[in-house]
């Protein structure tokens, strides 16, 4: 008995360590994808035990479920999948919640909304999940806060009417972001380009400046010991205090032709990278000690066809500190030197050549998962020597709602990676495909 009492603290410590490690491993084994580009909005998939090479050229999904047209990528949280689509006869939009294991419909929330935008085949913004709530933003500015489990409306806003949105030609696209007790939305209203709402009640907490809205989703970073909201508007790269909307610094980035900045800003250490279809690439450096930033380099080609560094349309690049990897305007996969913007190499093997060609980059360990226009998923390694394809498979068929041209359709929606699966959608269905290592 005395020996046991002596050992008891050690055994408890061992038990605690084992439990903690087990909990950590559980978290690694099953990640959610609760918002745009994953848990941290950085396009990183943290799960382990993922397939090293695909067994077939076309993988059969675990389940498939019908959905309507839409550009919004799915999100996954707490065993549920969320996606938005356009209703039949184009009279409105819909928020859809599915069971992540079976694809069964758990609830839907339709609402009427006429469109007055181009590319009118559905909502753009991914649903943001936080603390049991689902925040969905429609293409015309309909903002809903729903009970994530039941679909009940907790609050909603018609941002178009309330803020007199100067509607961009392709609608509202930037997924809302939760920061503390706030839901921050790029609205594009008069004197209200960015608006923060109480995430529980929907009450406005602050609104900021008069820029036109952009298409890129905002992110929150750390700078000089502060939380900083990075918003790429239609006119500027703007850094705000997320607590009150105070403008901390800005870098002008006015478009030469039209606002077309879809790619999310990407951060590595003290540098932020931006790319736009018509206006090329910009690398900014953040001051580590104070709230300021400067342009390191900016490169723009003669046109979107004759480009210099990188002029992306939808794809958000991957930035590892030394290099930037992204897809140029006609599908050229490129590697840039992060210090100068000089092109190191170019490959045409990852996506068929076409205007507005797209690849969504998601990093898992030392490999990259690339989801392209034709609905293929590629496992590859990217380095300064080139594009090293490991394996490729078909996940879902392209459809013509998002884009109807000579390529026969596209898959432009960003997939979700969760529960060792990929969740991908087109204009007709959403599929869940197992990517676990066998």
pLDDT of residue 406: 83
The DSSP output letter for 44 is: B
* Ranges 17-31, 231-245, 315-329: which has the least confidence: 17-31
Assess whether pLDDT exceeds 50 at residue 16: no
pLDDT tens string 87-134 = 987 789 999 999 999 999 999 999 999 999 999 999 999 999 999 999
Distance CA 396, CA 123 (A): 20
Domains of the chain: 31-434 (2.130.10.10)
Integer angstrom CA distances of residue 83 from 128, 327, 428: 10, 25, 12
Nearest CA-CA partner of 286 in 211, 343, 230, 208: 230
pLDDT, residue 438, reads: 87
Residue 90: per-residue pLDDT: 75
Phi, psi dihedral angles at 91 (to 5 degrees): -95, -10
Q: Which residue's entry shows tokens 């700078």?
A: 223
CB 349 within 8 A of CB 356: no
Percentage of residues in the chain with pLDDT exceeding 90?
A: 90
Name the helix (H) or strand (E) containing 208: strand 204-208
Residue 19 has pLDDT above 50, yes or no: no
Q: In this structure, what is the dihedral angle of CA atoms 260, 262, 263, 265, given to the nearest 10 degrees?
A: 90
Q: What phi and psi, each to the nearest 5 degrees, are found at residue 403?
A: -160, 125
Output the pLDDT for position 333.
98
- Torsion, Cα 116 117 118 124, to 10 degrees, reads -130
Asked if pLDDT for residue 351 goes beyond 60, the answer is: yes
Q: pLDDT > 70: what percent of the chain?
A: 93
Note the pLDDT tens digit of each residue in 25-45. Answer: 333 346 899 999 999 999 999
* Burial class of residue 209, CB neighbours in 10 A (0-12, 13-18, 19+): middle
Confidence band of 405 (pLDDT split at 50, 70, 90): confident
Q: In the prediction, which pLDDT does 21 show? A: 36
Q: What's the chain's average pLDDT?
A: 93
**For residue 395, is pLDDT > 80?**
yes
Question: Distance between CA atoms of 224 and 14, rounded to whole angstroms?
Answer: 39
68, 88 Cβ separation under 8 angstroms: yes
Mean pLDDT of 318-330: 97
Tokens matching residue 117? 């935008």
């Amino acid at each position: 008995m005395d020996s046991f009492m002596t050992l008891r603290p050690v055994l408890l410590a061992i038990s605690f360590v084992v439990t903690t490690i087990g909990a950590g491993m559980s978290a690694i084994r099953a990640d959610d994808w609760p918002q745009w580009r994953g848990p941290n909005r950085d396009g990183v998939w943290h799960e382990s035990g993922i397939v090293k090479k695909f067994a077939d050229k076309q993988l059969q999904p675990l389940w498939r479920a019908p959905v309507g047209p839409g550009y919004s990528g799915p999100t996954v949280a707490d065993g549920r999948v969320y996606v938005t689509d356009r209703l039949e006869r184009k009279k409105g939009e819909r928020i859809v919640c599915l069971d992540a294991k079976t694809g069964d419909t758990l609830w839907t929330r339709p609402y009427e909304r006429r469109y007055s935008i181009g590319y009118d085949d559905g909502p753009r913004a991914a649903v943001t999940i936080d603390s049991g709530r689902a925040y969905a933003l429609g293409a015309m500015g309909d903002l809903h806060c729903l009970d994530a489990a039941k679909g009940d409306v907790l609050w909603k806003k018609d941002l178009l009417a309330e803020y007199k949105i100067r509607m961009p030609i392709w609608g509202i696209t930037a997924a809302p972001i939760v920061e503390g007790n706030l839901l921050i939305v790029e609205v594009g209203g008069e004197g209200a380009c960015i608006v923060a709402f109480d995430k529980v009640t929907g009450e406005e907490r602050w609104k900021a400046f008069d820029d036109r809205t952009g298409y890129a989703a905002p992110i929150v970073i750390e700078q000089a010991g502060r939380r900083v909201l990075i918003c790429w508007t239609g006119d500027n790269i703007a850094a705000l205090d997320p607590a009150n909307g105070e403008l901390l610094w800005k870098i002008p980035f006015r478009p030469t032709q039209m606002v077309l900045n879809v790619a999310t800003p990407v951060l590595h250490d003290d540098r932020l990278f931006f790319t736009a279809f018509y206006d090329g690439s910009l690398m900014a450096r953040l001051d580590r000690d104070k709230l300021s930033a400067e342009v390191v380099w900016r490169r723009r080609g003669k046109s979107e066809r004759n480009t210099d560094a990188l002029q992306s349309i939808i794809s958000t690049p991957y930035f590892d500190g030394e290099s930037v990897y992204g897809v140029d305007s006609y599908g050229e996969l490129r590697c840039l030197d992060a210090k100068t913007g000089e092109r190191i190499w170019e490959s045409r093997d990852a996506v068929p050549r076409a205007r507005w060609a797209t690849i969504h980059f998601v990093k898992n360990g030392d490999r990259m998962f690339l989801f392209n226009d034709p609905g293929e998923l590629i496992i590859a390694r990217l380095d300064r020597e080139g594009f090293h394809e490991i394996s490729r498979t078909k996940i879902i068929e392209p459809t013509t709602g998002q884009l109807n041209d000579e390529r026969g359709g596209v898959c432009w929606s960003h997939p979700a990676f969760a529960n060792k699966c990929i969740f991908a959608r087109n204009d007709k269905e959403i599929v869940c495909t197992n990517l676990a290592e066998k």
